[in-house]
C-alpha cells in the first residue's frame, strides 16, 4: 500500500476510493497558485523540530511543511507557511494570527494547532520584523499587512490542503490575539466566507485610535512628576481591590466585574509631601487620564476607552507592554506606525502628537486600510459562521472596553429592522467573554488558560474548558458556549498544577460566587448580571 493510500485510511471520513492524492509532499513545489511561488515543501519527521529563530520543539507529529511567497503587487513579499499532518489529520484548517506590526510567521500557535490535528497556516503579512519600519510608508505594503496578506494566504492554504489530501478542509478556523484579534474581525467584516469559525482576542481593531491610546498613555506619564513607578501602581491596585474585589462576592485579589468598578484615585492623593503611601496630584491626574482614555483637547470628545481599574500592576513591568513612563518614544507599535505611516518622518517625537489635528489626519489617511470597526456582520451571520471574542479585563495595552464597544455596535446594527432584538440575533453568531485578571493575551492574576495562549488541563481539553473546541462545537454542532471554565496554573505554568478554575461568562453576564464552597472551584460560581 503506498503512502497516499495510507493517508487516505487515516482520514477515512474525508476519503473515497476515487480520491487521488498528491504523489508526495515535495511535489507541492510544482503547485500553480495565483501570484505565488512555493519555495519549499518537505516532510518533517516526528520528534523534535527546530523552529526558525526559536528553540527546538519536542514531540511534534510528522508533517509536510510548505513555505510560499505571495506577490499580488510589485512591492508585495508575503511569506507564509502551511503545515499538513502526515497522520491523523482532523479534516480541518486552523490559521493563526500575528501580534504588533507582525513581520514573523507565528510558529508557536502553529505547533499547538498541528498537535491538535489541524492543517495550519500563518503569514508574516508581507514584511520582516528585522527590516526598517519605512515599509509602513508604502500603501500597498500597509494593505498587505492590514488585510490582503492574510486573506490571500487563507485562499492558498485551502488550495494546498486540497492538493495534498485531495479534500478541501471540511471546516476552516482562525485564531488570533491583539493584531491577530484585529485580523479575525477584519476577516469577518471583509471576507466573511473565509472562515467558518473565528476566535479573536484583545483586538487592536480600532487601530488608529489604539495608536493614539499608546501615545496618550506615554505622554501623560512621561514627565518626572507624572511617572508611575511600580510601588505606586501597587498602591493603586491595592486600593482598587479594596473597593471592587468583592463585587462578585469573592474576595480573591481579582476584579471580576470591572465594568461596575467605580474607583476614584483622588482618594489616594497625598495630604502633604510625596510618600510611598500616597499619590501626588500629578500622579492622580495621570491615573485618571489612563482610566478615562484619550480625549480631543479642542472638542472634549472621547477618542477611545481607557483601561479598566484592577490591572494597574500590569501597566508597568508585570504587564510587559511598557506603554507608560515613556521618555524617548511611545510604546509598542505606535511610535513606528505614526513616524512612518502618518508623518513619514523618522525624527517625529511622540510628545508632539496633536490629538485633534493629527488624530483627524490619521483617521482620514489610514483608517480605511487599518481599522476593522465595521459593525455590519450580516453576511457572516447569513453564512452560518461563528465568532468568539475574548478580552482580558486587565489588559494594559488594549482597553477591554474597546472590544465591548465593538460588540455593542454589532448588536445595534443587528437590531435595525429585525423582528427579534439585536442582542438575541447577535448572540446567535457572535459572543464575547471578558476575562477577569488577564493581561494582554497572556499572563495576569486571573484564570487565564482556556485553550488559546495556554492549554486547558489535559483531562479537560473539551468544549467546556477550551475555546478552540468550543467554537468547533458551535460551528459543527450548533451548540453555543454560555460559559467556558478557565484555569489558573501555579505560576502560570501547566506543569506546576492547577491553582484554581473559574467560569468565563458570555457578556454581559459575570461569574459570581454562590457564597459557600471552595472559591478555587468553578462549580461554586454562577453566571449572572
Cis peptide before 522 (omega within 30 of 0): no
CA atoms of 285 and 291, how far apart (whole Å): 10
HEC string of 191-217 equals CCCCCCEEEEECCCCCHHHHHHHHHHH
| Nearest CA-CA partner of 69 in 41, 108, 49, 92 | 41
CA atoms of 198 and 194, how far apart (whole Å): 10
H/E element, 28: none
Residues forming a β-bridge with 449? 487
Which residue in the block uniquely carries the three cell numbers 460560581?
A: 525
Cis peptide before 165 (omega within 30 of 0): no
67 and 79 Cβ atoms separated by less than 8 Å: yes
The size of the chain, in residues, is: 529
Which residue in the block uniquely carries the three cell numbers 472551584?
A: 521
By three-state DSSP, how is residue 388 classified? Answer: strand
CA atoms of 360 and 508, how far apart (whole Å): 32
Active site residues: 178, 395, 440
Amino acid at each position: 500500500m503506498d503512502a497516499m493510500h495510507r493517508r487516505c485510511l487515516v482520514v477515512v471520513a474525508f476519503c473515497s476510493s476515487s480520491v487521488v492524492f498528491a504523489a508526495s509532499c515535495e511535489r507541492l513545489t510544482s503547485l500553480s497558485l495565483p501570484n505565488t511561488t512555493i519555495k519549499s515543501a518537505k516532510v518533517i519527521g516526528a520528534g523534535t523540530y527546530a523552529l526558525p529563530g526559536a528553540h527546538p520543539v519536542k514531540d511534534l507529529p510528522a508533517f509536510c511543511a510548505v513555505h510560499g511567497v505571495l506577490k499580488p503587487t510589485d512591492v508585495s513579499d508575503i511569506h507564509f507557511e502551511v503545515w499538513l499532518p502526515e497522520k491523523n489529520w482532523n479534516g480541518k484548517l486552523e490559521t493563526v494570527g500575528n501580534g504588533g506590526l507582525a513581520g514573523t510567521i507565528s510558529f508557536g500557535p502553529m505547533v499547538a494547532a498541528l498537535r491538535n490535528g489541524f492543517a495550519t497556516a500563518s503569514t508574516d503579512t508581507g514584511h520582516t520584523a528585522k527590516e526598517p519600519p519605512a515599509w509602513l510608508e508604502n500603501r500597498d505594503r500597509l494593505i498587505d499587512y492590514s488585510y490582503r496578506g492574510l486573506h490571500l494566504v487563507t485562499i492558498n492554504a485551502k488550495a494546498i490542503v486540497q492538493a495534498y489530501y485531495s479534500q478541501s478542509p471540511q471546516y476552516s478556523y482562525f485564531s488570533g490575539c491583539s493584531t491577530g484579534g484585529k485580523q479575525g474581525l477584519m476577516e469577518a467584516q471583509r471576507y466573511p466566507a473565509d472562515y467558518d469559525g473565528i476566535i479573536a482576542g484583545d483586538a487592536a481593531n480600532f487601530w488608529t485610535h489604539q495608536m493614539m491610546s499608546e501615545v496618550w498613555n506615554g505622554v501623560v506619564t512621561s514627565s518626572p512628576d507624572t511617572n508611575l513607578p511600580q510601588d505606586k501602581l501597587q498602591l493603586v491596585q491595592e486600593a482598587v481591590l479594596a473597593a471592587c474585589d468583592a463585587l462578585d462576592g469573592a474576595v480573591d485579589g481579582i476584579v471580576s466585574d470591572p465594568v461596575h468598578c467605580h474607583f476614584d484615585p483622588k482618594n489616594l492623593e497625598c495630604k502633604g509631601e510625596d510618600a510611598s503611601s500616597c499619590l501626588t496630584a500629578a500622579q492622580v491626574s495621570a491615573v485618571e487620564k489612563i482610566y478615562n482614555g484619550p480625549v480631543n483637547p479642542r472638542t472634549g470628545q472621547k477618542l477611545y476607552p481607557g483601561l479598566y481599574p484592577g490591572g494597574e500592576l500590569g501597566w508597568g513591568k508585570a504587564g510587559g507592554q511598557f506603554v507608560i513612563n515613556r521618555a524617548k518614544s511611545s510604546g509598542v507599535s505606535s511610535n513606528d506606525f505614526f513616524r512612518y505611516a502618518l508623518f513619514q518622518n523618522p525624527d517625529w517625537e511622540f510628545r508632539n502628537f496633536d490629538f485633534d489635528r493629527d488624530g483627524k489626519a490619521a483617521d482620514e489617511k489610514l483608517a480605511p486600510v487599518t481599522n476593522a470597526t465595521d459593525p455590519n456582520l450580516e453576511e457572516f451571520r447569513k453564512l452560518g459562521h461563528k465568532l468568539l471574542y475574548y478580552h482580558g479585563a486587565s489588559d494594559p495595552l488594549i482597553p477591554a472596553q474597546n472590544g465591548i464597544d465593538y460588540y455593542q455596535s454589532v448588536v445595534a446594527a443587528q437590531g435595525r429592522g429585525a423582528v427579534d432584538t439585536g442582542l438575541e440575533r447577535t448572540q446567535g453568531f457572535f459572543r464575547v467573554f471578558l476575562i477577569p485578571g488577564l493581561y494582554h493575551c497572556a499572563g495576569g492574576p486571573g484564570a487565564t488558560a482556556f485553550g488559546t495562549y495556554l492549554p486547558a488541563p489535559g483531562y479537560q481539553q473539551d468544549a467546556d474548558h477550551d475555546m478552540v473546541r468550543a467554537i468547533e462545537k458551535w460551528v459543527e454542532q450548533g451548540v453555543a458556549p454560555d460559559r467556558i471554565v478557565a484555569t489558573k496554573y501555579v505560576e502560570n505554568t501547566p506543569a506546576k498544577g492547577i491553582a484554581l478554575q473559574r467560569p468565563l461568562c458570555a457578556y454581559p453576564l459575570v461569574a459570581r460566587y454562590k457564597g459557600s464552597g471552595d472559591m478555587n472551584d468553578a462549580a461554586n460560581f454562577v453566571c449572572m448580571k
